[in-house]
Amino acid sequence: MEQRIRILIQHLVDKGMEVTSIPDFIKTVTLTLLADPGMSVQELTRHLQMLGWDDVELDAATLYLLLATFDPEVADMLIRWVDLKEACSPSVPRKFGGC
């Protein structure tokens, strides 16, 4: 798990986030997902921007890395849910796997 956390931290730093902001960012994303687990990546990004997290674009890769730092069983379940949610996005045509 420590390696996953290091990878997440490096990923966020590479995206321009200050190291000192990372714990608060992770906490905000986690609490937001707990409050509304039905959010898509785009909805979550908009919510984070409303809360002032403009310096990092939350994309699927960043979300997967963050979820991978959770308990492995929980992370696996959430990653499958995010995959399904993204596949069912209106921006993904049915012929390319959309719902």
In which band, very low, low, confident or very high, does the pLDDT at 67 lie, cut at 50, 70 and 90? confident
Helix locations, the chain, DSSP H:
2-14, 22-35, 41-50, 60-68, 72-87
What pTM value is reported for the model?
Answer: 0.70
Taking only the tens place, the pLDDT of each residue in 8-60 is: 999 999 988 999 999 999 999 988 888 887 788 888 999 999 999 987 778 88
Structural domain count, the chain: 1
Range of the domain at 62: 2-96
